[in-house]
Amino acid sequence: MDAITLNGAAGFRTFLCNRNAFAGKHGGRSSYFELNCKTFHDQKSSPRKLLHVNAWLRGSRPVVVSCMSDSSEIQRALIDGEDGNPSKITEVPEIHKDELLATQMALSDAQSQEEVIEKERDIMLEKLARAEAKQQEYHASIIHEKELAVAELEAAKDIFHKKVQESVEEKFHLESKLILAKQDAVQLAVQVEKLAEMAFQQATSHILEDAQMRVTAAETSAAEAAYQIEEQIRSATEGTISSIVDQSKSAIAKALAAAEAVGDHTKKVVTTYADDLNLIDEIASIKNQNIKLQKTVTDLESQLLVSNNEINKLKLELEQTRQQATAYELHTRDAEKELLEFQESSRKATHQMEEEVKTWLNKMKKDAAERKKAASKSFKVEVETIKAAIEAAKETAHSKDEAYLRRCAALQRSLKASESASKMWRQRAEIAEASLLNRVPLGEQDENATYVVNGGRIDLLMDDDSQKLKLLSDGPRREIPEWMARRISSVCPKFPPMKTKLSKDKFSKFKYLKLPKPEEVWSIANEKSKDVSTLVEQVIEKEVIEKKRKALERALHRKTIQWQRTLEETKLEPGTGTGREIVFQGFNWESWRRQWYLDLAPKAADLSRSGMTAIWFPPPTESVAPQGYMPSDLYNLNSAYGSEEELKYCIQEMRNQELLTLGDVVLNHRCAHKQSPNGVWNIYGGKLAWGPEAIVCDDPNFQGRGNPSSGDIFHAAPNIDHSQDFVRGDIKGWLNWLRNDIGFDGWRLDFVRGFSGEYVKEYIEASQPAFAIGEYWDSLAYEGGNLCYNQDAHRQRIINWINATGGTSSAFDVTTKGILHSALHNQYWRLIDPQGKPTGVMGWWPSRAVTFLENHDTGSTQGHWPFPRDKLMQGYAYILTHPGTPVVFYDHFYDFGIRDIITELIEARRRAGIHCRSPLKIFHANNDGYVAKIGETLVMKLGHLDWNPSKEVHLDGSWQKFVDKGSDYQVWLRQ
């Protein structure tokens, strides 16, 4: 309040300004005010003069100004003092006493009124201060309650969202439990089927009852789990929704009550101010405060509206959750229906399976009984035949021994007769010499005369060395290979020439003696050599008999073991052998520089002991290139590796050790023998004399007149047109010749990308190999110089070729080789695909995957795409423990110093019973390492991953470490 105006009885206008009022309005700072008094009329006196007063006030200082109409000067009185007493009074002359008394009276009245007003003002200021303090408190409390309400709403929202998320997570968890329960039920059903198969095999009925009990238990457990899941979902959703609604209602009610209390309080304050204060400025200020309070109330209302909207949103969300809950209920009902249907179908299936199992069991019993009878009969017959053969062999051996003794006696008699005959011939020779020399004594003959007896051969025939030469030249009475005969003939000296004409004999220095005929002498010599050869033949026959005995014993042993073999150990499908093959590539790129067949044959026993089952031979045909991959005459097997006889000898040595032999056959192309009139090499010679009609027409270099190629073109030689009937017929005949006459058991097919797999199927069905491998070499996928993770397209192309052959042939797993190049450098995650399987052909068709690390193209002196040498041990640990058919390279086994490691891994594979179809489960595949379980009894680890099967819960049994190579690889076998 700036100024207070009062009207006195004496006509004075008194203006009062107090410092406290200014302090309440202006924050305690001093200010000035200006009073303007204009002319006014009093009730008793005339109009007075205009009074203009400018007064500066400091502290609590009243100013009294009076103006009269009679005076000409302005009278001013200033009263200063801290206690309200006047310290200095300025009197103005020409003032009457009455007027002075009146002014004094008015002044005293004014002072008394001023005191009353000051007291009232102080009271009002105290009330105002209290009201302002209360207002600030109420405002602070409102703001605090608002913040609390907002915080509670936000907390309620967070709790609601959390509970909704928890309910959703619980829902998903329960759904996952339902799915897991279904999966468990399905797995139990699968287990039931497996148990049924076991029952089918073991011919027992209690396993079926146990399986039925497990199925019913699984069904009840699944139903109980579904019911519990539904109840948990309902209870969780209802509890969360009710708690959220209650919390939101309580928070809203608290906020509304606080707002109402604040409004009531503001109304009371306004009424008290209206009653107590009649001043305009105070009312205006209170109105302003009311406006502010109204703004706050409107803000609170807007917040309430927002909260109401949020509550509506929450209600909508609750309705949505209820709808979702109903949908989940429907889903659960559908799941229950599906479970019921599945139970019914499983019951029907089990019933059908029981009936089928019973029928099959009866059939199996009958078949087994018949087979047992037939097998026992055949086995008895075979045993009897073997016993008879053994007895016959014993009898023949006894007779041979007796004949040997008789021949020895005859030999002694013949030796005595020959000695007597030789004495007689010597006497006759001496007599003839004496008659020729006219009884000239010995020692006095002509030194220039040379006497020839039977062409000069009598001494050689009668000498002991001549018999040795006879044995070396003729040998024992059995067929000798040509290559051995050539060597023996190169060692044996030739006889001197024989003179037949008498004219030459008469005029030459040689003197002819009339001695017994050569036939007689040769009869004695032949008789002697025959006896000696008989001795040698007896020794050889004894060795043959011993070999036959051992072969009969092995056959008897195989027959007894054959009944104990499982179905997996027999031949499963064409093109895979027994499923337990381990192939050894028996050559490299430089093997042609030596007589390779003669070098490889002595290694047969060593390879068999090391665990190899099949030997991959180099291309056997005559070839333009010495390595054999540019064949010309297919029936000419005299190659840079050796002759045809040496090849047969090497194959026979492998067969003696029960090793399969795989021939490397090149069917895509063939080099011609002659040029056409156009100067193009497209005329073939040899047994298969083809012409340009046997060459594909789209080969740009050799002017073929056949049909277009069914594959890629090999540009170094003419590509054969396999669509021609005569070509296929000739190739079938050649393959059967290699199988039957030469002795190969299977094929390694070179460059099969050049022709369709349908022709391969026809060739395999015609030649019936025990094992076949196709070389489908294709490039992997790279991006920015790095190997791509996804190689499905690459392995799909290999599998497409295998499908084209009808599954009759395997193929090299080039995909696995390429992935191992990068995976073994701390990128083991490349060894598992998104489906949890291996990333090569092994992961999709393991029985047709032939895994390898190196061959004659990638290793040796060629070095195309060589395998990292420091990772060879890990690579062999991977392929020798995993399904598929592994291949061991010659250089690695004999030249790289890792032979013991390879044999140790082959032994682990043999002990675990791993074959080409063994089941595989990958546990870990990351940057640290790779862990997998193969079959039921082997676990292997690559890398420096800290892992042990004994610490794993899901691995039953006791595991013993079989191979430990530290951070390279480790292999465990279950005891």
Residue type, 548: K
Closest-CA residue to 916 (of 961, 892, 883, 944)? 883
Catalytic entry in 531, 622, 730, 775: 775
775 noted as active-site residue: yes
Q: Bridge-partner residues for 938, per DSSP?
A: 934, 973
What is the model's pLDDT at position 931? 96
For residues 623 and 629, the answer to whether their CB atoms sit within 8 Å is yes
Locate all alpha helices (DSSP H) within 203-279, ordered by sequence. 206-276
Closest-CA residue to 279 (of 124, 113, 129)? 124
Instruction: DSSP for 65-82, please give it.
Output: EE--SS-SS-EEEE---S
What is the model's pLDDT at position 816? 97
Provide the pairing of β-strand 810-812 with 772-774.
parallel
Q: What is the DSSP letter of 8?
A: -
pLDDT (tens digit, 9 = 90+) per residue, 180-238?
Answer: 666 666 666 666 666 656 655 664 455 556 656 765 666 666 566 656 666 766 676 66
Residue 945 has which token pair? 């991953």
pLDDT (tens digit, 9 = 90+) per residue, 2-11?
Answer: 433 334 433 4
**What phi, psi does 849 have (nearest 5°)?**
-95, 120
- Segment 527-551 shows an average pLDDT of 59
pLDDT (tens digit, 9 = 90+) per residue, 442-455?
Answer: 444 444 444 444 44
Q: Collect all residues with Cβ–Cβ distance below 8 Å to 734 and sequence separation of at least 6.
A: 634, 635, 688
Angle 872-879/899-912 helices, nearest 10 degrees?
20
Q: Collect all residues with Cβ–Cβ distance below 8 Å to 119 and sequence separation of at least 6.
A: none
- Segment 698-724 shows an average pLDDT of 94
What is the model's pLDDT at position 420? 75
Instruction: DSSP for 122-173, please give it.
Output: HHHHHHHHHHHHHHHHHHHHHHHHHHHHHHHHHHHHHHHHHHHHHHHHHHHH
367 noted as active-site residue: no
**What phi, psi does 617 have (nearest 5°)?**
-90, 155
Residue 938, SS3? strand
Q: pLDDT higher for 249 or 724?
A: 724
What is the model's pLDDT at position 4? 38
> To which H or E segment does residue 396 belong?
helix 280-436
Q: How far is 312 from 315, CA to CA, in rounded Å?
A: 5
What is the model's pLDDT at position 609? 94
pLDDT at 175 over 90: no
pTM summary value: 0.48
Q: How far is 905 from 519, CA to CA, in rounded Å?
A: 68
Q: Of 168-182, 266-280, 721-735, which range is least confident? A: 266-280
Catalytic entry in 581, 750, 891, 968: 750
For residues 51 and 37, the answer to whether their CB atoms sit within 8 Å is yes
